[in-house]
Chains A and B, each alone.
Chain A
Amino acid sequence: DSGVTQTPKHLITATGQRVTLRCSPRSGDLSVYWYQQSLDQGLQFLIQYYNGEERAKGNILERFSAQQFPDLHSELNLSSLELGDSALYFCASSVSETSGQYFGPGTRLTVT
């Protein structure tokens, strides 16, 4: 157990819908990262927050947005969902931007 929690574990929804994924980082970690992993693919970095502020953006679609709240938990919002958005979404946290990231168990999103 990495200490990073994510909810929900599984999510099944229809095209065009909007969902919210939630992540709580390890105690003491200020940085939160979101990744997308499609079947048999690598980790695609989406976005990073540090202590409530956006720090870096990767290949995040405009239909996706995220935020980090004062209690350091983070939410990833996915809207106008398409079939191709079906994937595992991981959240990770780290104590600093130059240290190892610890991953949550992931949310498996299925868009039908």
Chain B
Amino acid sequence: NAGVTQTPKFQVLKTGQSMTLQCAQDMNHNSMYWYRQDPGMGLRLIYYSASEGTTDKGEVPNGYNVSRLNKREFSLRLESAAPSQTSVYFCASSEGDTQYFGPGTRLTVL
């Protein structure tokens, strides 16, 4: 039981490049989330998916898209990366109101 897994662990992009962050959970949870973490700001919600087939915007959705591929997988896409998107990205899943987090992806945009 791996919990929540994320790939890649680290990534460096140039401004304007695109990439997709992958997340998978093996706990059979309905809800999944993407957050970004910046110093002194805690975690901020980018997008979430309350169930398979649905996605909704969170607090900071601009510049991102998501896909809930199936119940297990929830991906985050940056179409045209900007330096302001340099951050650590966390995926989480939940059943009820307790969320379980992945190990994170550290993204640097030059």
The answer to whether A and B assemble together is no
